[in-house]
Chains A and B, each alone.
Chain A
Amino acid sequence: MQLGIKHTYLWLPLCLIFLGGAVVAGLMYGTVPLTAAELVDILFHPHSAGLKSTVVWQLRLPRVGLAALVGMALAVSGTVFQAVLRNPLADPYILGVSGGAALGAVLALTFFSAQSYAVPSLAFCGALSALLLVYLVARAHQAATHTLILAGVMVGSLCTAVLMFLLLYSPADPMRNALFWLAGNLARGEERWLPYGAGVCVILVLLLWSRAGLLDVFTQGEDVAADLGVDIGRERLFLFCAAGLLVAIAVALAGLVGFVGLVVPHAIRLLWGAGHTRLIPAAAIVGAGFLVGADALARTVLAPAEVPVGVVTALVGAPFFLYLLRLRGR
C-alpha cells in the first residue's frame, strides 16, 4: 500500500494535482487574503478594477509563472546532470553555471545598474561563458565524467574568486544588491522576458525528454552505452549543453534558487523509479509545483514580510526527502 504507485499510470494525474494545488495556493495566499470564490471571480473577470484583481493579475500570476518555470528548469537539468555524471550529488549548479551567472550579475550591478535588463542579460551571458569554458576543456577528452565535474568546479571557483575581488572594490549599494541577487529571489522577475524564457525552456525540456532512452543507457554506465553503439562524447556534450542552457535561463530570471534541482529528481526516482521517460516529465511538473508552493509559503508565513524562498525549499523539502529515503532507501 505504502506509495505502491510505482508501476501504475497514476503518476501523471498525481503530479498534475500537485502542480494544480500549488498554483491555486500561490494565487490564493499572500498578504491580501482571498477566498476561493473571490479567486475564481477574479480569474473570470480579468479586467475588473480593485486591489484584489491587481494583486492576482499583476503580482501573483507573473510570480507563480516565474516560480513554475524556474522550478521546472532546475528540476529537469538536475535530473539530466545526475544521470549523465552518474553522481547523486550533482545539482544544476555543478558545472560552474552559478558562478558564471553570479559574476555576470555582479558586473551588471556594478557597472550598468541603471538598466533593468542588464542583470538578467549579463547573468545569462556569464552562465553561458562558464558553460563554454567547461565545454572547451571537457571536449578535449570525450567529455569524460570526472573531467566535466572538475572543469565545472574549477570554473566555478575562478568565477567566485573574481566575484569576491569585484565585491571588494564595488561601492556599498551594488554589493548589497548583489548579495540579495545571489540568494535567489522570485519577486524580481522581468515580466516581459517570462514568455521567451518559458518558450525556450519548454523546447529544451521536450528535447531532453526525447533523449530519455539515452539517459537510461547513461545511468547503466559508459561501457554499456558504448557497447550499444552510442557516441558517448557527442551525446554527453549535447545533454550537457541543453541542461546548462536551462539552468542559465533559470538563473538569469531568478538568481540562485537552491535545493529544487538536487532533491526533486531524487524524490521522483524514489517514488516512481529511475526510468527517464517518466522521470523527466514528472520532475518538470513536480519541480514547478514545488517551487510555486514553496514561494506561496514564503510569502505567507511572515506576511507582510517575506522569507527567502531558498529557506522554505530546504526547510520543507529536506524533511520530506529524508522521510522518503527512510521509507524506500536507495
Chain B
Amino acid sequence: MHITRHLRSILILACGLLVAVPGTWSSGGDASAANLPTHAAPITYTDALGRQVQLDGTPQRVVSLVPSVTETIYALGAEELLVGVTDFCNYPPQAQDKKSVGAYNNPSIEAIALLQPDLVIIAADMATPALLQTLLELNIPVYSVYPRSLKATIEMQRNLGAVLGYTDASAALAFELEQALAQLQLEVEQAGTDTAPRVLLTIMLVPLLIAGTDTLPGEMLTCAGGVNVATPGSRYPMWNMESVLALDPDIIVVSPHPGTPAPRDFFLRFEQLRAVQQGNIVEIPADWLQRPGPRIRKGLEALRQAIKRAMKCAMECDVTCGETRTSEKSDATRH
C-alpha cells in the first residue's frame, strides 16, 4: 500500500519533469529554430580579453551591455538581433525601446537570463570576473570588446560585423572611419603643425576633469590637428581654473550635460582667457568624443571645424592686433 503510494508520487513527479523539461526548452524554441540552418560548424572568435569564444553559427538574440556597441549594431543595420540593452544605451533613440537589463557596470543577471540571449557583449573594463563567470555558468556565450583607441574602435566594428554576420556593413563602416581619418591626416599635414592650436578637452566642469593625451578624446584631438594642453601622465586628471589660466589654451572644448546645461558660462567670467576673447569655447556632445561608436566621426569633424576656426582667428589676430597679446604672457606659462 505504502509502496504503491510512493511509486505513484514518484511517477507523477517523473511525468511532471518530463513535461516540464521539454517545456523549458521549447519556450526558447523560436530562437533556436531560427538558428538551426546555420548550425553547420561552430566558429571560434578571440575577444578583447583574449578569450576563445565559440559560437554555433550567427547569434540571433544578442544582449549588448555596452552603449557604443549598441550604437554600432544599429549602424550595421543589425538591430533586429538585439534583444537587450542597458539603461545607458540612449542612441539611437529607438534603442531605448529595447528591453533594458540595468546599468552597464551592474546589469541584472536575471534580466539577461530571461531574455535567453545566445550572445552577450560586454566591455572588458566594465565586466567583473564574477559577472563573466556567472554568465558562462548559465551557458550564455560572452564576447568582450575594449575600444579604448581609434584603432581599437575600427577593429571592434570589423569584429562585431564578423560575429553578427554583417561583414559587408561593418567593412563599409570601418572603411568610412578610416577614410575620414586619412582625409584628416592629409588636411592636417598640409596645414602644418607649427600653427596647431592648443586645446583643453574638458570632461566635467565641477570638479574640472580633463581628458589627457592617452584617451580617446585626446587621440581624436591629435588626429584633428590640435595639441592637447594636458600634460602626459594621468588619463583624466583633475585640474583647477588656475591651471587653465596659466596654460591659456586657444580652444576649450566643453560638453553640455544634464548637470551642466550651459557649460560655456563656466569660462566666460575669465575674460583674459584667449579662448574666451576669440570665442573659441566650443560645445561638442560628450558622446561624440567619449563613446567609441559610429558618432566619433561627428566628433572628429566638430574638432576639426573648431581647430580650423581657431587657426583662422589666430591669423586674423596676428594681422590686426600684432603681438600685444603675446607680450603679456610669460614664457613659463606657455610650456
Indicate if the CB atoms of B242 and A188 lie closer than 8 Å. Answer: no
Interface digits, B188-207 against A, CB 8 Å rule (1 contact, 0 not)? 00000000000000001011
B264 to chain A, nearest CB (A): 14
Indicate if the CB atoms of A30 and B206 lie closer than 8 Å. Answer: no
Chain B binding surface, main DSSP class:
loop
Specify which of A30, A32, A187 is in contact with B208 (CB 8 Å cutoff). Answer: A187
A299 to B240, CA, bound (A): 8
Q: B210's closest neighbor in chain A, by CB?
A: A305
B36 to chain A, nearest CB (A): 40
Q: A176's closest neighbor in chain B, by CB?
A: B204
A253 to chain B, nearest CB (A): 14
Indicate if the CB atoms of B204 and A177 lie closer than 8 Å. Answer: yes
A58 to B271, CA, bound (A): 12
Chain A residues whose CB sits within 8 angstroms of the CB of B332 once the complex forms: 33
Indicate if the CB atoms of A173 and B257 lie closer than 8 Å. Answer: yes
A62 to B68, CA, bound (A): 41
Specify which of B210, B245, B257, B259 is in contact with A54 (CB 8 Å cutoff). Answer: B245
Indicate if the CB atoms of B242 and A173 lie closer than 8 Å. Answer: no
Chain A residues whose CB sits within 8 angstroms of the CB of B204 once the complex forms: 176-177, 180
Indicate if the CB atoms of B207 and A188 lie closer than 8 Å. Answer: yes
B258 to chain A, nearest CB (A): 5
A265 to chain B, nearest CB (A): 29
A174 to B257, CA, bound (A): 9
Residues of B within 8 A of A (CB-CB), count: 34
Most chain-B CB neighbours within 10 Å: which of A32, A172, A173? A172
Assess whether B42 is interfacial by the CB under 8 Å rule: no
Assess whether A306 is interfacial by the CB under 8 Å rule: yes
Specify which of A31, A113, A306, A308 is in contact with B259 (CB 8 Å cutoff). Answer: A113
Assess whether A3 is interfacial by the CB under 8 Å rule: no
A30 to chain B, nearest CB (A): 5
For chain A, give the interface size range. Answer: 20 to 34
Chain A residues whose CB sits within 8 angstroms of the CB of B240 once the complex forms: 30-31, 59, 187, 299, 306
B29 to chain A, nearest CB (A): 35
Specify which of B206, B231, B333 is in contact with A188 (CB 8 Å cutoff). Answer: B206
Indicate if the CB atoms of B246 and A304 lie closer than 8 Å. Answer: yes
Q: A113's closest neighbor in chain B, by CB?
A: B259
Specify which of B233, B245, B259, B260 is in contact with A51 (CB 8 Å cutoff). Answer: B245
Tell me the A21-67 residues at the B interface (CB within 8 Å).
Answer: 30-33, 49-51, 54-55, 58-60
Specify which of B103, B241, B258 is in contact with A113 (CB 8 Å cutoff). Answer: B258
Specify which of B208, B238, B239, B241 is in contact with A308 (CB 8 Å cutoff). Answer: B238
A188 to B238, CA, bound (A): 12
A172 to B231, CA, bound (A): 27
Chain B residues whose CB sits within 8 angstroms of the CB of A58 once the complex forms: 270
Indicate if the CB atoms of B242 and A55 lie closer than 8 Å. Answer: yes
Indicate if the CB atoms of B239 and A305 lie closer than 8 Å. Answer: yes
Chain B residues whose CB sits within 8 angstroms of the CB of A54 once the complex forms: 245, 270, 272
Extra contacts besides A113-B259, A299-B240, A304-B231 (16): CB < 8 Å: A32-B246, A51-B333, A54-B245, A54-B270, A54-B272, A114-B261, A172-B88, A173-B259, A174-B259, A177-B206, A180-B207, A187-B208, A188-B206, A188-B207, A304-B247, A305-B234
Interchain Cβ contacts under 8 Å between A and B, 20 examples: A31-B246, A51-B245, A54-B270, A54-B272, A55-B242, A58-B270, A59-B245, A60-B242, A113-B259, A114-B261, A171-B87, A173-B258, A176-B204, A177-B259, A302-B233, A303-B243, A304-B243, A305-B234, A306-B207, A306-B240
Give A contacts to B, CB under 8 Å: 30-33, 49-51, 54-55, 58-60, 109, 113-114, 168, 171-174, 176-177, 180, 185, 187-188, 299, 302-306, 308
